[in-house]
Amino acid sequence: MVKTMKLIVRAPAKVNLGLDVASFRKDRLIEWDMVMTSVSLNDYVQIETQDSSNNIEVHSNNGFLPEDSRNLAYKAARLFLQEASLNQSVRIEIDKHIPIAAGLGGGSADAAAVLRGLNEIFKTNYSLKKLAKIGIKIDSDVPFCVYSRTSRVSGKGEVVVPLNRLPKMWLILAKPGISVSTPRILHQISGKALEHPKIDNIVNGIQNSDYNQIAKNLGNSLESITTQNYPQIFTLEQRMRKYGADGSLMSGSGPTVFGMAKTHSRAQRVYNSLSGFCSEVYLTQPLNIENP
């Protein structure tokens, strides 16, 4: 048994280059078809095993993050220990940089970091596929965050197919001063006429390293619902393009909007222009790109 060991794991945010509600059943189960990538905006998760048994602690530098069993990192630790039949105590410290309730998968990224970290600490040698199988029990974004590379994600989030590296690009993220409840947005899907982005075109653009094809096919089925509730998201997208982004889109269920730029100088200009309009702006790159 490992008694005391400490490890810090990086937990990257995710963005959706494409998000489609492929089907919506009467029992409210959603089938997704998405293209996701991880970016260089990270939480840092410190995992420490302790010389005692069967206790999980979660602490964070963010007062809005629950530190009990509602926390996805807590759930990840509990499920991992159960799966591995380990009677061990774990203390988790989350250094939070990814905005909460922002459509960037921060909680799922933290949970995935815990799964990867415990797998390393306890030398269980679980494959990413195995960790993703545990992760889907926590949240639909966790399997992708386990892989943390550009992928097409389908089903309920459990089918993760890694794609080629993205062509070199920069992503400017901007979160307006609101938080969005994903369950509330999903509850409004019923009866709505959704737009369905061309996910295949985004995938083909990635596989062919075609920056322009990716930029012109960005799309999110949930955008029409979220922007109806929060029109400032649409305004932010328009500003992104006005300031020079080649494409802009809401990530996840919102409210964060990202813009694409091919060069650092163009991205910096968009970032500088938005900084006076929006208090939370981040200049990032996808982690999985050519010639970083």
Which residues have a catalytic role annotated?
Answer: 14, 141
274/269 Cα distance (integer angstroms): 9
Judged by phi (left if over 0) then psi (alpha if -120 to 50, else beta), residue 213 lies in: alpha
In whole angstroms, give the CA distance from residue 44 to residue 155. 29
CA pair distance 67, 84, nearest whole angstrom: 23
CB neighbours of residue 266 within 10 Å: 18
